[in-house]
Amino acid sequence: MSDTVLIIEDDEQNLYLMRFLLEKKGLTVIEARNGRDGIQMAMAHRPKAILLDIQLPEMDGLAVAAELKARRELKGTPIIAVTSYAMVGDRERIMEAGATGYIEKPIDPETFVEEIRRYF
């Protein structure tokens, strides 16, 4: 398993910021703009971690998390929801769907990479 992180995110600005911060710390970033492509990328590249937006086109992040968790080839790969869903019960619902961790948007550029690395 390399130091590759898969970002599944459809918002260009969020994607750019996360990619910039991770690459600045020496991590390799691959990306998908929707859930279906994200699942395919995860299976093909077996990343060290998956950063998953919850509001995605075609297939929402909850369904993506459940599908990723069901894949035995990805067992042990942390799935970290990076989302603006911050209402009461959202975190629990996201974790029940299969996420390993949860980071609220907007992300803090000062701590973001270290928050991700703790799941490695």
Q: Where do we find the tokens 């990076």?
A: 82
Domains and CATH numbers, the chain: 4-109 (3.40.50.2300)
- The answer to whether residues 74 and 6 touch, using CB atoms and an 8 Å cutoff, is no
Measure the CA–CA gap between 49 and 41, rounded to whole angstroms.
12
Query: What is the reported pLDDT for 1?
Result: 46
Average pLDDT for runs of 10 along the chain of length 120: 89 97 97 97 98 94 96 96 84 94 95 95
Query: What is the reported pLDDT for 112?
Result: 98
Kindly report the pTM of this predicted structure.
Answer: 0.95
Query: What is the reported pLDDT for 2?
Result: 67
> Which three-class secondary structure state does DSSP give residue 61?
helix
- The answer to whether residues 6 and 42 touch, using CB atoms and an 8 Å cutoff, is yes
- H helices then E strands: how many in the chain? 5, 5
